[in-house]
Structure 1
Amino acid sequence: MTSTAPPGPAPASPPATTAQPVIRARGVSMAYGGTDVLHGIDLAIHRGEVFALLGPNGAGKTTTVEILEGFRRRSAGEVSVLGADPERGDDAWRGRIGLVLQSWRDHRRWRVGELLSHFATYYPEPRDPAALLAMVGLTGHADQQVDRLSGGQRRRLDVALGIVGRPELLFLDEPTTGFDPEARHEFHLLVERLARDEGVTVLLTTHDLVEAERLADRIAMLVGGRIRACGSPAELARRAAARAEVRWTADDGTTRRERTADPSRLVWELHRDADGPIAGLEVRRPTLEDTYLHMVHREDDAPAPEHPDGTDGAVGAEARAA
């Protein structure tokens, strides 16, 4: 998916969206021919929230995001983004949204500074292009042609183009692909600042579990066209089917390990039975990665049981409460 032109102008004073979720989806389904891709997706994402959508290739992430962006018609269900149905979003609505797509192929002959300044003219209160170039680390490349940028530099420009219009809602599709560790760290700080200081709502799709755990207030795991779990990184880790692992060194010097759903009790029992400190004692609790892998592997066994509203047990109650 690419874009050939910047969005239309945004209204100078967009309507408030704090009372209702910035993004609300109810029972969203999608079928291509006879193949069902999405099975009743429910989402509620609020202002200033960084929300990550995780899932393996083919899970339906791209389809879901394209529906929310207004680039794809859904087969069934209700969607509201910034108070409007994306299928009927006009230029003013699009001007309130920023996009950082996986791949941009346009404007290759433009110089970096010129392209950013050109995009800025489409908005009533854009960010200063020079300051934005500094923010994404491209000041020294302002006079360079876009098609001569490295992959990581081009990704930084994508981010700058996505936020030049001060969007209320920012879609980030694998945003840090090609970033070195320092650039990735700076980008994470930028996203946190946008959400915290400016109230920008961010929908992030990524395969990087560390990035999702670092940035996201909540994470939805999309597997097989269904949301299998939704919650904060800590909540999802606690839900992991994988048990915690307790490791310690026995009196004979051998390393012992035991998996348990109640590591605190096991540690207490070890201390109760020990004559002194326990060497090498370590508790490894379930991680976000454990949760993710469990959800992906569960898809190979059987579909999650569905509620009448099309959600599965892990997310239905939360979605309805939102």
Structure 2
Amino acid sequence: MNQEKFMKKILAAGITNEAVSAEDAMEQMIKEKNRVLQIGKSFVIYDPNGKIMRHTAAGFKKEEYKVKVLDLVQMKEENHYNPLYYCRNEAEAMSYARYLINKLGNNNEETFMTRAEIALLTALLCYIKMERPKKEQNFASIMKMLHAQMNDIDMNTYHYLDDLFFNLEKKSMDHIAVKQWKVFQVNHWKDQRRILASLAAKLSIFDLPMIEQLTSTDDLELDQMKDQTTVLFVKIPTFNDSYDILTELLCFQLMNMKDCDHVSGWTEYQKKESPKKERHESKAIETPRTVDRASQIIKSTADNSIWDFV
């Protein structure tokens, strides 16, 4: 169906008595193409302060559309969006990491810092998606891991994520998360601190309690929009661009799913014997804190499980 004719029909069915006319709302939706994304028969409408939704939601419902709302204005009593839910394999994890780092950076040029940030975020994404239960597969878990390492890092000692990926390597030395972690780890420890701090700062929006709750789970069903009749209103603040990365990532994921309907899933790595290696010994490791930490790790890995970060 012609999009403009369809929108006119929707507006005619859902018009209200508010000051803004149906024609004004339609003009926003049709002429400003960047505000409307069509996926099959479904629509994603970027809606400043919910103005368009007030004029069209009733019309969409009369046309038997599912109406979903991602509210980035008040962030309550609406749907939830977890970007990690739509990360389908290692390649997409790396793609999402690169997209986020480049979008949140100051320029499009990839320096050694940005490449290291991409490798680190890819390692964390792959670990979370492949090794953790579904309830932990969200950005809140990513931030917990980053903060734990930042609080722990120092020269010549092994730390939180070092232990985690060391243990994961014992499960499979070919694990993509391990490989990406090693790309990050080749940097000097001082550079590692800078990279960790930079990545945590770029992703700091996910530390906000409102955003943590909004992205903790998912019920948008973005992966089903192409085959359903759904309208998703993304309510965005008029003068606050703090949450733009969420709306941009949502659009990026939708277009990726539209282009790639069927993709391979996550690799199931079989346990392989890794070459025996001993950690570098230093005086710093001999502190009571690190000795106690090592004993805890040995105890937790006795059953070949991965050290729990929660």
TM-score norm. by structure 1 comes to 0.26
Structure (1/2) with the larger helix percentage:
2
Structure number with higher relative contact order (C-alpha < 8 Å, ≥ 6 residues apart): 2
TM-score norm. by structure 2 comes to 0.26
Structure (1/2) with the larger strand percentage:
1
